[in-house]
Amino acid sequence: MHLPRQLGPLHDLPSTPEAYDAVLADVVEQALARLTPEGNLEHPDADDDIGDTSLGVTSLLALAWQRSKDPRLPEAVRRSLAFHLRERVYTEDNPGYPNLTVRNSGLPYARYVLAAGAHPIGDWPSTVWALLQTVNVLDLADGLVDEGQRAELVEVGRGYWRWLTEATFFNPQEAGNQAIGCVVGGLMLARHLPSEEAEPVRERAFALYTDRIRAHRVSDRGALLPPEHGGAYDNNYGPISLSFLAQAHRISGAEMFAEDGDALARYLDARLPNGGFDNGGPRYSEQHSGFESVLGLRYFGARIGSDLGRYRGDTNWGRHAVKPDGGVDGHFAWMLVWQIQDTTPWHRDPATAPARHQLRAGSVSVAFDHRMTPSLVEAGGTYYLPAAVNRQHGFGPVLDGFLYCRPMGEVRVRDVHTDGLTAKLVSKPVVGRDHVLRHVRSLYVTDGTRLWVTVAVERLGGTPYLLAGLPYAADVGDRVRRVAEGEVAAAGALRLTHPARQGVDHFDARAELTQEQAAFALAADPRGYGNPDEGWRHLVTSTAYEAEPAPGAPEHLQVFAVRYGPGADFTVSFEGDLTVHTEAFTVAIGPEEAHGVPELALTAC
C-alpha cells in the first residue's frame, strides 16, 4: 500500500528553460482545445476552488506567448480574459458569507464555488488567488491586451484588493500562506497603479505583513513561523508560504521577507529527513503541495545553502494543478509563472553546520521536536514516527506506563563529528510520577548508513523498556510505501508490539490505514477543517518497537541500546561511569562542563 501523495523529490523535476517551454506548450494545446465560444478555460469537472482558474490558464497562455510568440495565443488571451471579466467577477455579497465587515460594498471578489450561497467560506482565499492571477496577466499583457481590457483588469484588481482589506476580516482562516499571498498581490498590484495610488497600497501591504502576520508568528523548535490554520507549520501549506515569501522578496527587496523566509527554510530543513518525507500540520498530515512549493524551496534553499528540494512533493502536481484525469487546472497558476521567471538554481548539497533540531548524515536522519525528542527517524530507507503508550507519545524509557521524555528544565545538546561519524547527545531532566528528578541522556550516532541510539537513565527499578518508534513508511523508488516493521536491533531483548485493543485511538501499523486517516478520525472537526495533529494526540496506543535494558550497564544506570538500519550482529559493552563500545565506535559520556553540557568523546573502531 502506497501513501497517496508522498511522491518524488521536487528537485528531480527538470527546471531548464527548455523543460518549462515544454510544459507551457502542453498547457497551450490543452487550453486551445478546451476554450469555449464564451472564452471559458475552466476544467469541465471544476467545482470548488474555481473562481480564479480560467484566469490562471489565461496567465499561462500569456507567458507562453511572451516566450514563443505563438500566433494562436493573442486571440485566446483576449477571449478568455473577457470571459473572466464578464462572468467570474462578482459584486453582490455571497449569501451566507460570514466574514464581511462591510455589507453591500459592491466591490469585486471571486467565489470558491460559483453557485450563490454554496460553501462561501472559501471566498477570501479565492479572491487572493484571483488577485494574483490578475496581476500576473497585467505583468504579461504587453502586446496582448488592448488598453480598454487592461484598464478594466486594473480596476478589478484594485477592487479585489479593497474587498480583501476593507470589506472583510483580514485572513479569516488564520492561514499564513493565504495572508502572505494577499500581501504579495498588493505589492504586485501597486506596480500597475498611478504613483499617487500605488504608495498607499504598498504601505498597506507592508503594514499588513508586519502587524497582522509577522507580529503573530508562532514558535516551534526555536523558530518563529507564520501561523498556518492555527498551527506553527503544515507540511502542505508551510512550503507554499515559503514560496510567497520568496516572491515578496523578489518583487519588493524588503529584507524582512528574506529574514522570515530564511527562518522558515532552516526550520523546514531541520524537520525534513534525507528522503524528503514529512508529516504533520493543522490541515493535512500527509498531503503535500507540488509545484506550489518549488519557488520557495529553490529560492531559499540557495539562500541557506541546503538541499530543500529533497522535499517529497505531489509530483502529480509537479508542474501545475491538474484534475483526476490529468487535465490542466488554473488553480495556483501564478506559482508556475513565478518559478519560470525566477532563475535561481537548485542547491543540491546538504547544509554542513550542525542544527539543534536535526541529526543528518548520508541516508540517516533524525528530526527532533521542541522537546528534543525525535519526531521522525529515518534509517535504512524506513521512517519511524513517535510511538504511543498510555496516551503519551515519543521515544524514551517507559516504566509502568509512564514515558520519560518530557523535560522538566533546560535541555542540553552537544554535537560531534569525527572519524566519519556524526553524533548528537541530548540531556534532559525528567520528572516521573514519583516526583523524582532523573536525567535522561540520549546519544544518537550515525555513520551515514546506520543509526545507533543509546539512552541512559538513573536506575528505575521494575521492568522498564525503551519505546523505540512506530515503523510507518519506507522509500520505494519515487513512492513511499506503508510498512509495519523495519530493520532494528537491540542490545537487550527487542519486541515489536501491536495494540491489544481495536478502535480509532489505537493505531496498528499492520492495518490498511494511513496516519493521516487515523489522525482525522480522531480530530474534532470534519476532514479538511479539523486539526489532525490535535486528533493524533488523542491516540492511546500504537504499534511500537520496545527494547529491554542492555546487560552489563553500570549498576546505578539502566541503559538501552538500539540500532536502526542494516548490519550484522549488534554488540554493546560498557565500562567505567558510561563508556559505550559498539561494533562501530566507542563513546565516552563524561561529566558536565562549565555550562552544564556533558562531555562527549567519540572514536571510530
Q: What is the pLDDT of residues 358-410, one digit of tens each?
A: 999 999 999 999 999 999 999 999 999 999 999 999 999 999 999 999 999 99
Mean pLDDT value across the chain:
96
Q: What is the largest CA-CA distance in the chain?
A: 86
For residue 4 the three cell numbers come to 497517496
* Per-residue CA distances from 98 to 50, 178, 207, 483, 526 (Å): 20, 17, 24, 43, 19
How far, in Å, CA of 218 to CA of 232, rounded? 5
pLDDT recorded at residue 477 = 82
Closest by CA position to 459, among listed 494, 432, 424, 490: 432
Q: What is the pLDDT of residue 533?
A: 94
Q: Could you identify the residue written with the cell 522538566?
A: 408
pLDDT at 528: 81
Task: Using pLDDT thresholds of 50, 70 and 90, give the confidence band for residue 1.
Answer: confident
With cut-offs at 50, 70 and 90, classify the pLDDT of residue 230.
confident
Percent over 70 (pLDDT), the chain = 100
Report in angstroms the alpha-carbon separations of 173 from 123, 507, 529, 572: 11, 30, 10, 52
Strands 541-542, 506-507: parallel, antiparallel or unpaired by DSSP? Answer: parallel
What is the C-alpha to C-alpha distance for residues 116 and 590, in angstroms, rounded to an integer? 69
Task: List 589's β-bridge partners, or say none.
Answer: 600
How many helices and strands in the chain, by DSSP H and E?
13, 27
CB of 381 closer than 8 Å to CB of 566: no
Please, which pLDDT band fits residue 132 given cuts at 50, 70 and 90?
very high
DSSP 309: G
- Predicted confidence at residue 596, as pLDDT, reads 82
The per-residue pLDDT for 598 is 86
Helix/strand/coil percent split, the chain, to 5: 35, 25, 40
**Res 569: pLDDT:** 85
pLDDT digits (tens, 9 = 90+) for 487-534: 999 999 999 999 999 999 999 999 999 999 999 999 999 888 889 999
Three-state DSSP state, 442: strand
d(CA 65, CA 137) in angstroms, rounded, equals 12
| 287/485: higher pLDDT | 485
Is the confidence at residue 591, as pLDDT, over 90? no
- Cα–Cα distance between 131 and 246 in angstroms, integer? 18
Q: Provide the 10 A C-beta neighbour count for residue 199.
A: 12
In whole angstroms, what is the distance from residue 368 CA to residue 362 CA?
A: 17
Q: Does the pLDDT at position 303 exceed 90?
A: yes
How many angstroms separate the CA atoms of 510 and 96, rounded?
44
Closest by CA position to 62, among listed 128, 133, 158: 133
Per-residue pLDDT tens over the stretch 278-289: 999 998 888 889
| Burial class of residue 112 in the structure, from the number of CB atoms within 10 Å of its CB (0-12 exposed, 13-18 middle, 19+ buried) | buried
Is 0.95 surpassed by the pTM of this model? Answer: yes
